[in-house]
Chains A and B, each alone.
Chain A
């Protein structure tokens, strides 16, 4: 931080002159990967802001008496087995991509490809699982407009799914490059970015999962804690 902000003068030349020789030379490609990572982190910041605002809206809306909790004995989230199954797929996807990331760092192309493919396939499985849960909801008569709790369930899982779908586009492009035998060194950065994005979406999903399956008392407590009541 200090170096970023305050290095108007460097130690070699107190008058403030900058010498190219003092710059740290870095291998080509390294910076590009770093820049992409900075870009991704910024994007995740934006996504966090988006979901944080949705969650605040969720908590506020949950305080209105017409809210019918999805966790009641006869509601679809009384049993969370389906969601746990989906979560397991997403956790598996994250682990697989992390495995690919480590393998890429070690230069093991085959293991990278295996982990990377598995990560994407499990993510697709997660999305299909989410669609299945939506169908269960519809079969129980829990449509998007029948209650604000349902509306939020569809909205939040849908948006999370869309973000994962966006990630799958990047995943598909990278997989295409793998299949066209682009050297691993040029793909390692993409594998890493996918892994980071998958971990983030896993964390986000676990948060959403916890919140969507909580009881009204929990929402009340959160609202009171945040001064929203």
Chain B
């Protein structure tokens, strides 16, 4: 086993010019920032699309070009961008890249060149995706699930170019994610520093590690469906396309199975939920522990819960297909596994709450976001229990209740963690603090605003308001009050959308003008806060790799004045601190 000897002995790919330092960089920190900025950029486009959709729903006809086709295109692109190109890329490519080497005490990822390629493939996939806005017919409007036969049949927007560009973009994204994932997993397995056992790793690393394994195993399912659908579309095969009459003409296809596509898609789609959720679980655990000045409650349980959720996430996919006409016994099986997955998930929520219990809670901006995550995840998780049951799901299927559920549990909750984590690690990345007042304003508008958006949607769902409709006028079963509520939701959504400008201003303004942060502003224990320089330089650790002596959660250790003990403090140093010795300084500055 390596314990990072390799990185110590090996020559580093030292950057020599502006190009190799910032553009064609092989440094994990630069790649992380490239990934994160690209993901945030493309996420903003998806945010604008959601604003356009909400305008149509709240104030029908208020946007001239928003006809049914444009609405479906906006909906499809919004969903796909948010799930894949924003959240997956940001958690794995952004946080994974930045934090894994620093948290496990490595100088870089084990395959830096592949890591660089991973970003450039990701960027290529984003460019191809966005190109579909400018292609004849525009982007695909098939819904983010891209179900055939409608996704490649005349009448759906973007069946000429949009769907092809989408599938090609997804295939390239999967190649990028695979190159990244191989790096993250191998780095965790092979490049941990001295003393960094797996069971001493911060939960952030555990979450990202497990999510990367899920990505490696689940993305091939999306790749398979994308390739086979491309064949159906471009070469006229019939993998998924049944015999069909379109616009009065019978198409060439016959015998294909649309349900097969659904199985493949959700075999990817459900693990995808956890590819987003597990890193969020990990990151939020570290935020809570650091800002509550308490060790994480039940570390081992937390690790095994992450592993268990990862494994179980592969056997629940068909709970997305209760109304697809599959065998009812399947429904019974998948409902059971779905409810079982609530056990390790609930265990994590309990442990977060128990970590807070009697903690010295600092209501910093990262902590506010972390607390908001627990609440939001709880709400979204509980509605998941409703929908996991076949008998409750069938009447609620394809209503706004589902929209509210998945936005709460895998939209808002992970985004809250993204914000919290950015506010938390920003001082390490830039050396400066983000503005706290702006941060709190951003937090309260985002947190309360998202509840104003999604709480009413649960009710609309109970009323039976179907999702994926572009206009709700003239339906007898939808009362006027629902229209009023829709207008209210739109106002809330636009407010939250605009409030993200506060975050953007803070993000860029603070990089130059923020308060200098110092090496360890949150007085945290994990390795990334112990680097000799802030921001860490190329190679991260100076002449010698750090040596790890303890887990990452020694906060408020009894008998020690200082309320945190970094992972680099040895037993002898600890004894010295116990006898009233000096505060520990970051590595390299130590006496």
Same complex origin of A and B: yes
Which A residues lie at the B interface, using CB under 8 A? 3-8, 13, 15-18, 20, 23-26, 28-29, 31-32, 34-35, 38-39, 42-43, 45-46, 49-50, 53-54, 57, 60-61, 64-67, 144-145, 148, 151, 155, 159
Binary per-residue interface labels of chain B (1-22) against chain A in the complex, 1 for a CB within 8 Å, 0 otherwise: 1110110011000000000000
Of the residues A15, A54, A60, A151, contact of B238 by C-beta under 8 Å? A151
Query: CB < 8 Å: which of B186, B200, B221, B236 contacts A39?
Result: B186
The answer to whether A60 and B200 have CB atoms under 8 Å apart is no
**Which listed residue, B186, B228, B238, B255, touches A35 by the CB 8 Å rule?**
B186
Q: Residues of A contacting B447 with CB < 8 Å?
A: none
Closest to A47 in B: B220
Are B189 and A38 in contact, CB atoms less than 8 angstroms apart? yes
B197 / chain A contacts, CB cutoff of 8 Å? 4-8
- Contact between A17 and B571 (Cβ–Cβ < 8 Å)? yes
The distance from the CB of B274 to the nearest CB of chain A, in whole angstroms, is 16
Determine the chain A residues whose CB is within 8 A of the CB of B239 once the complex forms: 57, 61, 148, 151
* A18 engages B220 (CB within 8 Å): no
Residue of B nearest to A43 (CB): B182
Q: Provide the residues of chain B in CB contact with A148, threshold 8 Å.
A: 237-239, 255-256
Q: Are B549 and A35 in contact (CB under 8 A)?
A: no
B191 at the interface (CB under 8 A from A): yes
* A-B pairs with lowest CB-CB distance, top 5: A18-B195, A31-B6, A66-B255, A50-B220, A145-B236
- On whether the beta carbons of B189 and A49 are closer than 8 Å, the reply is no
Q: Report yes or no: A46 in contact with B257, Cβ–Cβ below 8 A.
A: no
Query: Could you tell me the distance between the alpha carbons of A128 and B503 in the complex, rounded to whole angstroms?
Result: 56
* A4-B197 Cα distance, complex, nearest whole Å: 6
A23/B194 in contact, CB under 8 A: yes
Interface residues of B in 525-575 (CB under 8 A from A): 547-551, 570-572
Closest to B10 in A: A32
Q: Is residue B223 within 8 Å, beta carbon to beta carbon, of the partner chain?
A: yes
**With A39-B110, A57-B264 given, can you name 6 additional A-B contacts, CB distance below 8 Å?**
A13-B571, A16-B571, A35-B2, A46-B181, A49-B220, A50-B224
* Contact call B549/A31, Cβ cutoff below 8 A: no
Residue in B110, B223, B237 whose beta carbon sits within 8 Å of that of A50 in the complex: B223
State how many angstroms separate the Cβ of A215 from the closest Cβ of chain B: 19
A-B pairs with beta carbons under 8 Å apart, 27 shown = A3-B1, A17-B571, A18-B549, A23-B194, A26-B5, A28-B10, A31-B5, A31-B6, A31-B190, A34-B190, A35-B191, A42-B216, A45-B216, A46-B220, A49-B221, A50-B223, A57-B260, A61-B256, A64-B255, A65-B255, A66-B254, A144-B235, A144-B237, A145-B236, A151-B231, A151-B235, A151-B237
A45 to B260, CA, bound (A): 23
CA distance A144 to B235 in the complex (A): 7
A20's partner among B194, B235, B237 (CB-CB below 8 A) is B194
Complexed CA–CA distance, A27 and B115 (Å): 26
- A6–B198 alpha-carbon span in the complex (Å): 8
Closest to A9 in B: B197
* B83 touches A (CB below 8 Å): no
CB distance from B42 to the nearest CB of A (A): 25
Number of chain B residues whose Cβ lies closer than 8 Å to a Cβ of chain A: 54
**Cβ-defined partner of A34 (8 Å) among B2, B224, B257:** B2
- Which of A18, A29, A39, A43 contacts B548, CB < 8 Å? A18
Interface string of B216-260 (1 = CB under 8 A from A): 110011011001100100011111000000000000101111001
Cβ-closest chain A residue relative to B218:
A49
Which residues of B have CB within 8 Å of A29? 9
Most chain A Cβ neighbours within 10 Å, of B197, B550, B551, B572: B197
Chain B residues in contact with chain A, CB under 8 A? 1-3, 5-6, 9-10, 110-111, 178, 181-183, 185-186, 189-191, 194-195, 197-200, 216-217, 220-221, 223-224, 227-228, 231, 235-239, 252, 254-257, 260, 264, 267, 547-551, 570-572
Enumerate chain A residues within 8 angstroms of B267, measured Cβ to Cβ: 53
The chain A residue sitting closest to B267, CB to CB, is A53
Report Cα–Cα, A45/B256, bound state, in Å.
Answer: 28
Q: Which of chain B's residues have a CB closer than 8 A to the CB of A20? A: 194, 547
A residues within 8 A CB of B191?
35
Cα A157 to Cα B190 with chains together (Å): 34
What CA separation (Å) do A18 and B545 show in the bound complex? 14
Contacts A35-B190, A53-B267, A66-B255: A144 and B220 contacting too (C-beta < 8 A)? no
Please tell me if the beta carbons of A17 and B190 are within 8 angstroms of each other in the complex.
Answer: no
Known: A8-B551, A144-B231. A46 touches B194 (CB 8 A): no
Closest residue of chain A to B551 (Cβ to Cβ) is A8
Q: Which residues of B contact A4 (CB under 8 A)?
A: 1, 197-198
Known: A5-B199, A57-B239. A28 touches B9 (CB 8 A): yes
A144, closest chain B residue (CB): B235
Residues in B with CB closer than 8 Å to A159 are 227
Residues A57 and B199 in contact, CB atoms below 8 Å apart: no
* B252 A17 Cβ-Cβ under 8 A: no
A28: chain B residues at CB < 8 Å are: 5, 9-10
Are B217 and A46 in touch, CB under 8 angstroms? yes
Q: Report the bound CA distance from A104 to B549 in whole Å.
A: 40
> In whole angstroms, what is the CA distance A17 to B220 when docked?
42
A46 near B10 with CB under 8 A, answer: no
Q: Which residue of B lies closest to A49 (CB)?
A: B220
For B183, the chain A residues whose CB sits under 8 A away are 39
Contact check, B224 vs A145: say whether CB atoms are below 8 A apart.
no
Q: Kindly list chain B residues whose C-beta atoms are within 8 Å of the C-beta of A151.
A: 231, 235, 237-239
Contact B1–A46 (Cβ < 8 Å): no
CB pair A15–B178 under 8 Å, yes or no, is: no
Q: Which of A29, A57, A159 has the most CB of B within 10 A?
A: A57
Q: Which residues of A contact B186 (CB under 8 A)?
A: 35, 38-39, 42
Contacts of B216 in A (CB 8 A): 42, 45-46, 49
Shortest C-beta distance, B378 to chain A (Å), equals: 30
Report which of A8, A15, A46, A67 forms a contact with B200, defined as CB distance below 8 A.
A8
Q: State the CA gap A106–B170 with chains docked (Å).
A: 45
Bound Cα distance from A4 to B198, whole angstroms: 6
Residues of A within 8 A of B185 (CB): 42
Cα distance A39–B1 in the bound complex, in angstroms: 14
For residue B236, which residues in chain A have a CB less than 8 angstroms away from its CB?
145
Residues of chain A within 8 A (CB-CB) of B238 are: 66, 145, 148, 151
Q: Please measure, in the bound complex, the distance between the C-alpha atom of A6 and the C-alpha atom of B200, giving whole angstroms.
A: 9
Shortest A116–chain B CB gap in Å is 22
For B228, the chain A residues whose CB sits under 8 A away are: 57, 155
Contact between B547 and A6 (Cβ–Cβ < 8 Å)?
no
Q: Are B190 and A16 in contact (CB under 8 A)?
A: no
Give chain B nearest CB distance to A172 CB in angstroms. 17
